[in-house]
């Protein structure tokens, strides 16, 4: 399994996070030629209070957000718009540890309602977004953002989720 989930907020279990996260991450990993069965991603399914604490601690932003990610390896390209690097293969018999993602139920539910989209679709997008961060994608610089958004739209379409940017 590519995604190991720690449920701190039980609303995530009721929302069916596990299959959504697995599908989103598997799509991103397969797109990059990685076998999801040999990769490991940790996902913290939490609430706004917990993610606000993490956001303050790691980003200096003391507010809730929808998703955070911590790549195990910096794969970000140096040039704006260039392709991210490739993860370093693990030792034989070991899983490729890609990093950690945290997702906040309250913010995700609020955003989905405000945008008039299904919670499942929004969550799929955000987990995919977090997974792409683990794979070296970012949206700080303009060409990097365009590259990441284009890939998100492509992979979400394969998962039956409408373009979140359209």
Nearest Cα neighbor of 23 from 126, 144, 148, 146 is 126
According to the annotation, is 139 in a ligand binding site?
yes
C-alpha span between 160 and 158 (Å, rounded): 5
- Please tell me whether 133 is known to bind a ligand: yes
Per-residue three-class SS string for 17-56: HHHHHHHHHHHHHHHCCCCHHHEEEEEEEECHHHHHHHHH
The CA-based diameter of the chain, rounded to the nearest angstrom, is 46
Q: Is 129 annotated as a binding residue?
A: yes
131, 71 contact by CB (below 8 A): no
CB neighbours of residue 33 within 10 Å: 7
| Annotated binding-site positions | 129, 133, 139
| Annotated binding-site positions for Zn(2+) | 129, 133, 139
């Amino acid at each position: 399994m590519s995604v190991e989930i720690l449920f701190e907020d039980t609303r995530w279990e009721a929302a069916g996070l596990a299959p959504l996260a697995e599908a989103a991450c598997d799509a991103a990993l397969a797109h990059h030629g990685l076998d999801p069965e040999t990769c490991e991603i940790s996902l913290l399914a939490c609430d706004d209070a917990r993610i606000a604490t993490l956001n303050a601690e790691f980003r200096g932003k003391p507010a809730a957000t929808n998703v955070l990610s911590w790549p195990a390896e910096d794969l970000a390209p140096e040039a704006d718009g260039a392709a991210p690097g490739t993860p370093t293969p693990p030792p034989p018999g070991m899983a490729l540890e890609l990093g950690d993602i945290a997702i906040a139920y309250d913010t995700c539910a609020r955003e989905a309602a405000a945008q008039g989209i299904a919670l499942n679709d929004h969550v799929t997008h955000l987990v995919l977004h977090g997974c792409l961060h683990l794979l070296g994608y970012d949206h700080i610089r303009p060409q990097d953002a365009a590259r990441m958004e284009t890939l998100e739209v492509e992979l979400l379409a394969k998962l039956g989720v409408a373009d979140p940017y359209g």
